[in-house]
Amino acid sequence: MSAGTPRHLGEPPPLQRRWQLWTGLGLAVLLVVTGFAWVGSSSDGRQGSKGRAASPPTPSSAATGGGAGPTTTGAAVATTAAPSGVTPPGPRNLLANNSFENGTGGWKPLGKARLTRSTDATEGGWSLRILADPSAGGTVGITVPDATLTKLNGRYHTNAWVRPSAPGTTVTIGLREYHDGKPVPGSNTLGWTADNDGWRQFGAIHLARLNGSRLALEIMARDLPPGGYLDVDEVVLHLLPSQ
């Protein structure tokens, strides 16, 4: 330092100059690192948000086997199916008076039977009671002589609820064709011997031999004791659908 230069304006010692240089460089590096750190954190935040927005969707029914196409098809099938709990209508009962709620009309006695009604019924308020001879008993029954006209090879099904007054009674139900007033061979009759008291349902199927025959329904009770009876209720006669 020259003699004319003030002390405070003179050059600093070498060590002091190096300290000032490193201090400046350190501040510059700190500013650069802080700037990069801020830019990086901001970029990470945006990238994270973008990553979440662009993440693949969770698999759903539209992206799997249960997609929109199969679902639509299933709905269409469901609309054509029968509603749950609904039974499709069955064959029409060909008997006008099958439950005897309005009397015995349409039914004729067989043998020495006498017809009356009883309040012991399986459904509704009445059943038909077929009374045997009070002194001799024997075979009695009922018939609908002109239940329907047959169709060739038609399958006719009948059943009924029956209850004889005494065990050991044989009950039969059958369908018989009549053509020109004469029985046609091949009638179908099913028999059952009661071994206990109470109602029982049974029936038979008949294959029509001719077209246009009169089809008669017959229900019989054999070997009834004197004063015995046979109760009958809920009789049906159906023409089954062709196979």
State CA 165 to chain mean position distance: 39
Q: Which two tokens stand for residue 196?
A: 């206990």
* pLDDT lower than 50: segments of the chain: 2, 5, 8-9, 15, 19, 21-22, 37-39, 41-83
What local confidence, expressed as pLDDT, does residue 26 receive? 55
Residue pair 221/133 in contact by the 8 Å Cβ criterion: no
Task: Map 153-168 to HEC letters.
Answer: CCEEEEEEEEEECCCC
What local confidence, expressed as pLDDT, does residue 35 receive? 55
What local confidence, expressed as pLDDT, does residue 48 receive? 40
What local confidence, expressed as pLDDT, does residue 242 receive? 84
- pLDDT tens track for 2-58: 455 455 445 555 545 554 544 555 555 555 555 554 445 444 444 443 333 333 333
Q: Which two tokens stand for residue 76?
A: 């269409």
- Taken as a whole, the chain contains a residue count of 243
Task: Map the chain to HEC letters.
Answer: CCCCCCHHHCCCCHHHHHHHHHHHHHHHHHHHHHHHHHHHHHHHHHHHHHHHHHCCCCCCCCCCCCCHHHHHHHHHHHHHCCCCCCCCCCCCCCCCCCCCCCCCCCCEEEECCEEEEECCCCCCCCEEEEECCCCCCEEEEEEEEEEEECCCCCEEEEEEEEEECCCCCEEEEEEEEEECCEECCCCEEEEEECCCCCCEEEEEEEECCCCCCEEEEEEEEEEECCCCEEEEEEEEEEECCCC
- Name residue 200's beta-bridge partners: 162
State CA 6 to chain mean position distance: 113
What local confidence, expressed as pLDDT, does residue 29 receive? 52
